[in-house]
Structure formats: structure tokens, C-alpha cells
A = this chain, B = another copy of it.
Amino acid sequence: MSDAAGRRRARGGGGAARRAARSAVSFDTAKYIERNIPNYEVLTEEALEIIERNAETLLEEIGVNFVNNPGACALWKEAGADVQGERVHIPRGLARKLCETAPSRFTQHARNPDRNVEIGGKSLVLAPVYGPPFVRDMAGGRRYATMADFRKFVKLGYMSKWLHHSGGTVCEPTDVAVNKRHLDMLQAHMTLSDKPFMGSVTEPSRAQDSVEMCEILFGRDFVQQNTVMTSLINVNSPLTFDDVMMGALEVYAKNNQACILSPFIVGGAMAPVSVVGTLTQVLAEVLAGIAYAQLVRPGAPVIFGAFVTSIDMNSGAPTFGTPEASQILYGAGQLARRMGLPFRSGGGLCGSKLPDAQAAYETTHTLNAALLGGVNFMLHACGWLEGGLVSSFEKFVMDADQLGTLHKMAAGVMADENAQAMDAIREVGPGGHYLGCAHTQANFQDAFWKTQLFDYKPFETWDEDGARDTMTLAAERVERLLADYQQPMLDPAINEALAGYVARKKASMPDSFT
């Protein structure tokens, strides 16, 4: 596969593309967000320095475990760490020093270059829910996710204007063998969407498969010279790096592909119950993880991740959209910016079983915190339900609609002559109204964010139309979008090569469900 063939893009010429352009259905995708607003910061300089000092103390004094990974331990030893069995004690300052080779921002390429995203700086890239073994919709209720569900979510993501990224495991296709489902998932992202996507991390060999499939899609040289996947490497908090996740990280780093180093923390269980204690542990873990990625390949693109929830101390259930989770998000953002690293956190997180008011309260708290807290890559931006156990079709389109508000908010406030609107106020005067004035007519099209989902009708009309709640409206929107879906163009040779790769790989091993 030549680079030229591999990088041929879907957009532009071709009868199908022209037919798509004429169609009433628009699949526009907004550019990733570039914030024109300040970040919100809750930690004082003093608190930040305490956390940074304590994190170094943890790394040196307690250390971190690299489990079943003699190669990692050898690299650390060579770099100057004190390695005792699997325990790596990192001298004060070493990890931070190693992190300096990580880029402060990078481009993740999509097969459609219009969909490329910049990750870092003032950017915010939105990606859908990741990981749930179940799906839910109004018609079918809650059930194990299948590959058919997976494909529907990829289609919905492709059609979501405010979603920049196709994501990764939008749900776990439980009807496909564990050792093969990554192939089907990647093929779906590559063929049903043209947005950027994530690679597999459940085995180093599956990370390697992800790289190889990208080489088919983008061309081998292109992949080695550019970042075409951003993948999710969870840290086993507290302070533990397992060989599966690190094995995947090693594959991606060696191939110049991006990894999110993300402590996965339910506060009070995997970290202390206090905000500053949790942030200290998060920072230590991220420092160690990113430093290791830089040991594998200096300059490998990485993201400072923080997935932190609080806990209901009565039941032990993780809780979402809480003030403590927002405080940790804000604080982690400050720590990431002080390291000059892209930052991942947030998402439409909630604990509710249904896409109801609880879900929306919880989700909106975190979406707002992520916007103001400087998140650069927001996984789970739409579709997350029930603490991440469920991908919800209705919530996917509900959240995806809300993501438009983040774009508008991030654009900030214009104060030019048109925005000052002095002529309008003069024209209307005391007691008048603005609906018909020249300034309103000239500006109303773009003045306000517009929903594609919510109901603004008068009560009587709404009532006559069936008094539908938001979930019902969302279910109708899901059906409509899936009916309107049109596959983005892809070079048939690439399509066949991908299918061939998947078929060969699947035939090469028996099904395994572990």
C-alpha cells in the first residue's frame, strides 16, 4: 500500500460525494474547540507546590510498581531509578525531567484531513463514551452490547456535529470473541466514520494489530511520521502499572502514537478521600507513566489523564458529577499545565440508570468543569450512563447536542462595534423592542446557540404533540439519524485490504473470551 493510496481521502470528487452534498442531511463536523476564554483554577500556588513536592516524595520514598515487566524495570534502572524487584523508586526530579521530552501539543490525523484534531494548548477535542459492556435504549431497555450496537454508535458519532472524534470502545461488542473484537471495532471506526479514533489496549498484540490496520488506512510511512491514534492507558491506582497496559503503551510509543496516561480513581477507594491527597497520587502516577513513555521513545505524544470520581460512602458506589470530582478536575488541569502537557479529563459522567434529570444534572456539572478547567481531550463526552456500565443511545444524542453549548461558550465574548450594538439601542429606544431592528436582523442567525433536540414549543402545542419528554425526543432523533446515515467514501482498495486483514487475523486463532 503506497502512502498516496493510503492517504487518499473520502471527501472531494466522486459521484457519491456529490450526491451526499446535494442531500438534505448535513454531516458537518465542527472544528475542535479553541478556547478564547480563561481557565478556572481552584488551587493556590502554595497548594500546587505542596502537591508537586509531595508527589516527588511518593515517587522516591514509596515508589511505583511495574508488574511483570522486567524490561520496564531495566529501563528505569538505566535511567537512574532505584529498582527493588518490581518496585521502582524514582529519585526526586527524575520523572519530571524525563517528561520534558513529551510534546506540549500534537496533531492526531484523521483519514479525512478536515477532521484532524490538535490536542494541547487551548484546544478541546470531544470523543464519545468508552468501555460499557451494556447498551440501553427506550425500545430495548438494558442489554449486553453487540457489534451491531457498536456500529450504530460509530454512525451516530460520525453524524454528530459537535463530536470531533470517533472514540474507541464506544461499547464492548460482547458477541465477538475478546481476542478478535478489536479488529471489528477498528474496522468500524475506519470505514463507517472518517473522524480520528483510538487503538486497542487490551493486549500488546492488539495494539500492534491497531498499528498495522492504521498502516493500511494511512500508509506505513505516514503512520511512523504522524500520530493517527490516541489510546487510553489506565494506571492501576494506587501506584501500579500492569504489564498489559504498559505493553500496549510500549507498542504505541515506539510507533509514535499517542497515549493518555490516566489514573482511574474512585476517590476513597483507589486514592485518599481528600482532594489534595488524590491529586498528589494522580500527579505521581502520571509523572511515572509519562516518564516511562519517554524512556520508551523520547518525544512520544502523551496526555496527562485524570479520571477521578467520588464514592458514596454508604454503599461504596462510585458517584459522578459531584463537587469533589470537579475540584479534582480543576486541580489536575492546573498540574498538567504546569508540566506543559495536554490534559484529559471530564466527560458526560453520571451514575443514573436512565437518561433522566439525575443523569443530566451530573453530566452538566462535569461538562462545565471540563470546559473551564482546561481539558484538551474529553473522553466520554456523550453517551455515558450508569457509571460507565451502559452506553445509552438516547443519552448519546442528548449529550452530543449539549456539546454545542461548549463550543459557543468557548468562543468568548466579542466587543467590536457590531457587538456593542449602540445603533440598535439608539434605534429602539426606551419601551421599544428589538425583534425587528436592523442589528437583530443582521445578527440573529448566529447570535444564539441552537439545539437540535430540546423542545421550545408553547405548552399547548407540546401537549397536543404528545407531551414528549427529552428521552422520547432523543429516541426519535436516534432513529432519524440512523435512517439518514450515509457512509463516508473510502478507497475500495483500502476497504478490501482492511477486510482482508481482519479476516486473516480472525482465522489465525481460535475464539477466546478471556
Contacts and interface: CB of A to CB of B under 8 A. Distances in A.
Interface stretch (A61-69, A208-216, A337-345): A61-69
A249 interface: no
A44 interface: yes
A28 to B, nearest CB: 19
A435 interface: yes
A381 interface: no
Contact of A413 (B331, B362, B402): B331
Contact of A276 (B58, B326, B414, B450): B414
Interface string A121-144: 000000000000000000000100
Contact of A319 (B361, B409, B456): B456
Nearest to A424: B272
Interface in A280-338: 280-281, 310-317, 319, 322-324, 326-327, 331
B272 A454 contact: no
Interface in A31-49: 37-38, 40-44, 46-47
Interface string A415-454: 1001111101110111111110001100111011110011
A111 B333 CA distance: 45
B419 A274 contact: yes
A398 interface: yes
Contacts of A354: 467, 469-470
Given A326-B409, A356-B470, A386-B459, A240 B273 contact: no
Contact of A273 (B363, B431, B447): B447
A57 interface: yes
Interface in A209-268: 236, 238-240, 267-268
A408 interface: yes
Nearest to A273: B447
A240 B430 contact: yes
A136 to B, nearest CB: 10
Interface residues of A, number: 122
B409 A440 contact: no
Contact of A352 (B44, B276, B448, B470): B470
Contact of A323 (B424, B449, B467): B449
A361 B358 contact: no
B272 A322 contact: no
A478 interface: no
Contact of A389 (B310, B356, B459): B459
B422 A280 contact: yes
B365 A405 contact: yes
A368 interface: yes
Contact of A358 (B272, B360, B422): B360
B322 A405 contact: yes
A273 to B, nearest CB: 4
A448 B310 contact: yes
Q: How many copies does the complex hold?
A: 2
A205 interface: no
Given A447-B274, A454-B351, A46 B415 contact: yes
Nearest to A363: B361
Contacts of A236: 431
B58 A425 contact: yes
Most buried by B among A40, A271, A326, A421: A421
Contacts of A351: 454-456
Nearest to A406: B323
A367 to B, nearest CB: 9
B238 A428 contact: yes
A21 interface: no
B364 A431 contact: no
B420 A280 contact: yes
A44 B415 contact: yes
A368 B357 contact: no
A444 to B, nearest CB: 5
B47 A413 contact: yes
A269 interface: yes
B87 A272 contact: no
Contact of A63 (B62, B430, B435): B430
Given A238-B428, A268-B434, A358-B455, A409 B447 contact: no
List the 6 shortest-distance A-B pairs measured between CB atoms, nearest first.
A277-B421, A360-B360, A364-B364, A272-B421, A239-B430, A273-B447
7 contacts: A65-B431, A238-B433, A268-B435, A272-B421, A310-B449, A312-B450, A354-B469
Given A238-B428, A239-B431, A277-B422, 15 more contacts: A38-B41, A58-B422, A62-B425, A268-B434, A268-B440, A274-B421, A310-B448, A312-B448, A314-B456, A317-B457, A327-B409, A354-B469, A356-B470, A358-B360, A361-B363
